Amino acid sequence: MVFTVTYHSPLGLIVIESDGEVLTGLRFADVKASASKMEHDEAGGEKVESNKAASPIPVIAATVRWLDDYFSGKRTENATMGKQPENVTIGNQTENATINVTADARIVVKPKGTMFQRRIWQALLTIPYGETVSYGEIARMVGCKSAQAVGQAVGANPIALLIPCHRVIAANGKIGGYAYGEEKKKRLLELEQQCKHKTFFC
């Protein structure tokens, strides 16, 4: 079973996805992605619940609170990367392996991806709130020679905001691409800059 709710943020709708226990997706979406009833998920053949107010899923409720805090400037710390599951091995199984990202005691995030993608996402968690790094810096951090490959992995991040891919910019200082559009990326960076330099919460 896959559960989804839509969150109304200052930058538009955000879709929160969970398997009922952990957070599996957090992404911006347009109005068409919103729903308020049980509907059929064509990709997975599972029912999807979209009802923020009535959601009984604890991790979804906690994520909503996290987003409320983030957009009000009260959430300035990064998530932290949990330990790799013991059954993760190098080989064919790496495609299906997951990493644990704990945002707080109530939110556990498990983004699925390749071993390389997970290395990149882990590196993203080291970028402080209100700061930026270049794709090249991330590449050097993980020992990769290709900033382009890093960019592709950053763009594949399934957990927006909690894993802060919006803090990666081009080497020339330009804002660079973003899966949800450069305007959203610009506004997220502006929000963090404003809240970082204020004594009190925004």
Tell me the range of 74-78, 109-113, 185-189 where mean pLDDT is highest. 185-189
What is the mean pLDDT of the segment spanning 175-200?
A: 87
Residue 168 has what pLDDT?
96
Crossing angle between the packed helical segments 135-142 and 115-124, to the nearest 10 degrees: 120
Question: What integer pLDDT is reported at residue 79 of this predicted model?
Answer: 66
Confidence at 83, pLDDT banded by 50, 70, 90: very low
Q: 61-75 pLDDT, tens per residue?
A: 888 989 999 999 887
pLDDT of 101 over the 90 cut? no
Q: Is the pLDDT of residue 106 over 80?
A: no
C-alpha triplet 21, 75, 190: angle, nearest 5°:
120
d(CA 34, CA 125): 29
Residues written for the chain: 202
Residues that are catalytic: 165
Dist. CA 24–CA 185, nearest whole Å = 21
Look at strands 133-134 and 168-169 and give their pairing: parallel
Q: What is the reported pLDDT for 55? A: 61
What angle, 0 to 180 degrees and rounded to 10, lies between the N-to-C axes of helices 115-124 and 147-155? 80
Contact (Cβ atoms closer than 8 angstroms) between residue 102 and residue 109: yes
H or E element, residue 63: helix 58-71
Contacts 24+ apart (CB under 8 A), 171-177: 171/134, 171/135, 171/136, 171/147, 176/135, 176/151, 177/151
Does the pLDDT value for residue 37 go beyond 50? no
Determine if the pTM surpasses 0.85: no
